[in-house]
């Protein structure tokens, strides 16, 4: 069984956002880069599937700049067999452009399962996985919080407003992983050592045209300063009054 | 020119996100030009003519028994087919669980740019400009669309629906040139969260509890306040991870993004990942014993105090208010 895991390197979630001089992108100075947290759930599940199947190959793919090999080395340390770095120096290609570049590479691998994170925590688009599924005409499930595989059939679960859907997919399939799917492991020392001998193949990313034009990146307007209406239970009548008369919400 | 809006239905009922999207489409149509056309996939007509009052001029309906439940690939084909017929300038989706799954599939099928989870749309110089939070709400991005139509999904509860009383929409059949039953992914079954429960993303009011509640046995305080307010119960990640509350209630970066008219945060410190999920609420109230808690920086109104005294008093006061109203 061949599994592909698509991973993105993103700024650490603690990063203070500064806008670059172009007014459109993130100022990368002082940013700590990490593996997208949701992609960790994807990697973990691929590793579990490989264990369950008693073997097979896991290929990690990431599109991005010079820092990407560090992220891919992490994925190799967790247990992926090899990695492909689709190299670009564009700061933030749009999800369709990324999906097209990934699709060209993934098609050639004929995988049984293609794994994504629910969303990348930088652009927060939650798009690349389901777009790629359409491009490759593969069945797909997104926001997946439970996964089981039997023969060539995957049974997954995803939440919606007011319930949970149980979805059955025939392999090959695309899955985008949400929190709750599993508890991702940490890399072992042995894994980190083994990763040093694994290959990261670098290729130029074929990005094609731009499909979303970023006009501006701005800091959000600060919420107008609120006020403390009082201390303790004694403040409750005043709170109810302002909610009724000023905010008109109760 | 025209605008196409995906009409989401579950169990034969049109979801509120679709009325919000129709309202925004009607507002955009004033500058971009109409009409506003809906497209719906369903097992039978969920009462689409009534959407005239919500802003739709007409609605295309694709009927198939397999569309009783959501079918991502099938619905995507329906929306793509409707786009071919209507040739819209803009296609809108609600960024609900369904819309967040569907919109990127349509983007992939049509080979067009999509902006997800938008909090504002504008027609600038005849083209659509979408505003959307990025970096967990720590920044705002404005994007334009080189291709046509522009695709956008709208954060639930942010866009106001409209009421054009007495208007009705023409409902027209949309032919299917594929067999939804041949799908390689299908929803086998659905488990409901519980009768009468409104999801936090759809609630007008959300009352959330955090670690300040000290244990799951005290969450009845939150439930009682929620009940008198007609609110849904939310939670911080700390209490979800501790197993006090289900993940479906988690508000924040790794949970749900909510934009109710009133958000009440009780015993929640206001860590940035939590704020990411609730700062687009219209009015925020915080109850916390620590006057330095960061939640007070985003709250419109705050009470500094012990939640075990404040919350029962608040529940009582609201109950009395409603009894007199
Ligand atoms: C990648 C990542 C993603 C995350 N995603 C989320 C997310 O989606 N949602 C989320 O919520 N968090 C998320 N977090 C966790 C977040 O950083 C915080 O740890 C969490 O929000 C804290 O929950 P809390 O406010 O309930 O608990 P605490 O921070 O412990 O706050 C408890 C508060 O209760 C107050 N309190 C205590 N006793 C009383 C009392 N008797 N009366 C009144 N007030 C009292 C305290 O003063 C304190 O402010 C994420 C973290 C990371 C790293
Ligand atoms: N540049 C990239 N390289 C590889 N995978 C990516 C890239 N960008 C996004 N992905 C994958 O697509 C998922 C969703 O990303 P997004 O649509 O950008 O929110 C991520 O969790 C990754 O699994």
3-state secondary structure of B185: strand
Helix, strand and coil in chain B, % to nearest 5: 35, 30, 35
Residue A144's nearest CA partner among A118, A119, A126, A121 is A118
Question: Which atom in ligand 2 lies closest to the alpha carbon of residue A127?
Answer: 17
CA of B130 to the centre of ligand 1 (A): 31
**What six digits make up the tokens of A131?**
């777009």
Q: Tell how strand A213-218 and strand B139-144 pair up.
A: antiparallel
- DSSP readout, B225-291? HHHHHT-EEEE-HHHHHTTSS-GGGBBSTTSB----SEEEEES----HHHHTTTTTSSEEEEEES-T
Q: What is the C-alpha separation between B226 and B315, in angstroms, rounded? A: 8
For ligand 1, say whether the CB of B273 is within 6 Å of any of its atoms.
yes
Closest residue CA from atom 7 of ligand 2 = A8
Q: Tell how strand A227-231 and strand B301-304 pair up.
A: parallel
What's the gap in Å between the CA of B205 and the closest CA on chain A? 9
**What six digits make up the tokens of B207?**
């009352």
**Residues in chain B, overall count:** 325
CA of A153 to the centre of ligand 2 (A): 25
Residue B259's nearest CA partner among B95, B131, B101 is B95
**What six digits make up the tokens of A92?**
């933030």
- For residue A225, name the pLDDT band (cuts at 50, 70, 90): confident
Does the distance separating the beta carbons of B135 and A17 come in below 8 Å?
yes
Residue B130's nearest CA partner among B88, B90, B76 is B90
**In chain B, which residues have pLDDT < 70?**
195
Q: What is the C-alpha separation between B93 and B91, in angstroms, rounded? A: 7
pLDDT of residue A116 exceeding 90: yes
CA of B152 to the centre of ligand 2 (A): 18
Residues A205 and A63 sit within 8 Å (Cβ to Cβ): yes
For ligand 1, say whether the CB of B218 is within 6 Å of any of its atoms.
no
Q: What is the C-alpha separation between B249 and B246, in angstroms, rounded? A: 6
At residue B1, the pLDDT reads: 83
Residues 6+ apart with CB under 8 A from B289: B212, B304, B305, B306, B307
pLDDT in tens, A67-108: 999 999 999 999 999 999 999 998 889 999 999 999 999 999
- DSSP readout, chain A? -EEEEE--EEE-TTPPP-B-TTSSSB--TTPPEEE-HHHHHHHHHHHHHHHHHT--EEEEEEEESTTHHHHHHHHHHHT-SEEEEEE---S---HHHHHHHHHHHHHHH--SEEEEES--TTT----HHHHHHHHTT--EEEEEEEEEEETTEEEEEEEETTEEEEEEEESSEEEEE-TTS--PPPPPHHHHHHHTTS-EEEEE----S-SSEEEEEEPPPPPPP-EEEEESGGGHHHHHHHHHHTS---
**CA atoms in the 13 A half-sphere facing the CB of A7:** 35
Q: Tell me, what's the ipTM? A: 0.94
DSSP assignment letter at B42: E
Cα angle value B24/B25/B29 (rounded, 5°)? 120
Q: What is the pTM of this model?
A: 0.94
Orientation of helix A95-109 relative to helix A128-135, angle to 10°: 50
pLDDT of residue A223 exceeding 90: no
Closest residue CA from atom 4 of ligand 2 = A62
Could you tell me which residues are beta bridge partners of residue B266?
B209, B287
For ligand 1, say whether the CB of B68 is within 6 Å of any of its atoms.
no
Q: What is the C-alpha separation between B207 and B234, in angstroms, rounded? A: 6
At residue A162, the pLDDT reads: 83
Residues 6+ apart with CB under 8 A from B280: B119, B133, B137, B155, B158, B257, B258, B259
Residue A120's nearest CA partner among B253, B257, B236, B96 is B253
**Partners of residue B300 in chain A, C-beta under 8 Å:** 223-224, 226-227, 247
3-state secondary structure of B164: coil
- Mean pLDDT within A200-208: 95
Distances (CA, A) of B159 to B21, B165, B166: 7, 19, 22
| Average per-residue pLDDT for chain A | 96
Q: What phi, psi does B322 have (nearest 5°)?
A: -70, -35
Residues B173 and B41 sit within 8 Å (Cβ to Cβ): no
pLDDT in tens, B293-320: 999 999 999 999 999 999 999 999 999 9
**Residues in chain A, overall count:** 250
- DSSP readout, B12-29? TEE-HHHHHHHHHHHHHH
At residue B72, the pLDDT reads: 96
Residues with CB under 6 Å of ligand 2 are A 6-8, 36, 38-39, 61-64, 95, 98, 116-117, 119-120, 123, 125-129
pLDDT in tens, A16-43: 899 999 999 999 999 999 999 999 999 9
Residues A123 and A14 sit within 8 Å (Cβ to Cβ): no
At residue B34, the pLDDT reads: 86
């Amino acid at each position: 069984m061949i599994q592909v895991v698509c991973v993105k390197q993103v700024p650490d979630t603690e990063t203070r956002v500064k806008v670059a001089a172009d007014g459109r992108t993130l100022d990368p100075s002082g940013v700590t880069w990490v593996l997208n947290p949701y992609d960790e759930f994807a990697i973990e599940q691929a590793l579990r599937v490989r264990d369950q199947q008693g073997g097979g190959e896991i290929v990690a793919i990431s599109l991005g700049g010079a820092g990407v090999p560090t992220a891919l080395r992490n994925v190799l340390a967790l247990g992926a067999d090899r990695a492909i770095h689709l190299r670009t120096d564009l700061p933030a290609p749009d999800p369709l452009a990324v999906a097209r570049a990934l699709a060209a590479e993934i098609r050639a691998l004929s995988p049984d399962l293609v794994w994504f994170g629910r969303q990348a925590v930088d652009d927060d688009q939650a798009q690349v996985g389901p777009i790629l599924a359409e491009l490759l005409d593969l069945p797909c499930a997104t926001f997946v919080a439970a996964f089981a595989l039997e023969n060539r059939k995957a049974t997954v679960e995803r939440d919606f407003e007011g319930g949970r859907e149980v979805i059955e997919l025939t392999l090959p399939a695309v899955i985008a992983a949400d929190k709750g799917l599993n508890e991702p492991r940490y890399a072992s020392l042995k894994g980190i050592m083994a990763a040093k001998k694994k290959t990261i193949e670098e290729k130029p990313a074929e990005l094609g045209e731009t499909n979303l034009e970023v006009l501006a990146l701005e800091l959000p307007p600060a919420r107008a300063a609120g006020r403390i209406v009082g201390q303790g239970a004694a403040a409750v009548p005043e709170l109810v009054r302002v909610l009724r008369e000023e905010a008109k919400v109760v | 020119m025209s605008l196409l809006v995906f009409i989401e239905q579950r169990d034969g009922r049109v979801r509120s996100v679709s009325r919000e999207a129709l309202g925004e489409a009607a507002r955009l149509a004033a500058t971009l030009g109409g009409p506003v056309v809906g497209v719906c996939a369903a097992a039978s007509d969920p009462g689409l003519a009534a959407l005239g009052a919500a802003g739709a001029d007409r609605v295309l309906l694709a009927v198939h028994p397999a569309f009783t439940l959501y079918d991502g690939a099938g619905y995507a084909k329906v929306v793509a087919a409707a786009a071919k017929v209507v040739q819209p300038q803009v296609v809108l989706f609600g960024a609900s669980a369904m819309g967040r799954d569907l919109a990127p599939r349509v983007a992939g099928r049509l080979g067009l740019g999509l902006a997800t989870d938008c909090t504002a749309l504008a027609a600038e110089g005849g083209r659509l400009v979408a505003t959307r939070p990025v970096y967990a709400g720590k920044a705002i991005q404005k994007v334009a669309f080189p291709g046509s139509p522009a695709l956008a999904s709208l954060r639930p509860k942010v866009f106001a629906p409209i009421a054009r009383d007495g208007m009705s929409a023409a409902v027209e059949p949309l032919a299917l040139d594929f067999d939804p039953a041949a799908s390689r992914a299908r929803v086998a079954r659905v488990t409901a969260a519980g009768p009468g429960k409104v999801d936090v993303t759809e609630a007008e009011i959300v009352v959330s509890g955090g670690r300040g509640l000290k244990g799951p046995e005290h969450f009845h305080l939150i439930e009682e306040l929620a009940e008198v307010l007609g609110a849904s119960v939310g939670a911080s990640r700390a209490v979800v991870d501790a197993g006090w509350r289900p993940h479906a209630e988690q508000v924040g970066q790794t949970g749900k993004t909510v934009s109710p008219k009133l958000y009440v945060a009780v015993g929640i410190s206001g860590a940035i990942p939590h704020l990411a999920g609730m700062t687009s609420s219209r009015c925020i109230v915080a109850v916390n014993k620590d006057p330095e808690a960061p939640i007070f920086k985003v709250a419109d109104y705050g009470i500094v105090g012990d939640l075990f005294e404040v919350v029962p008093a608040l529940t009582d006061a609201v109950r009395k208010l409603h009894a007199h109203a």
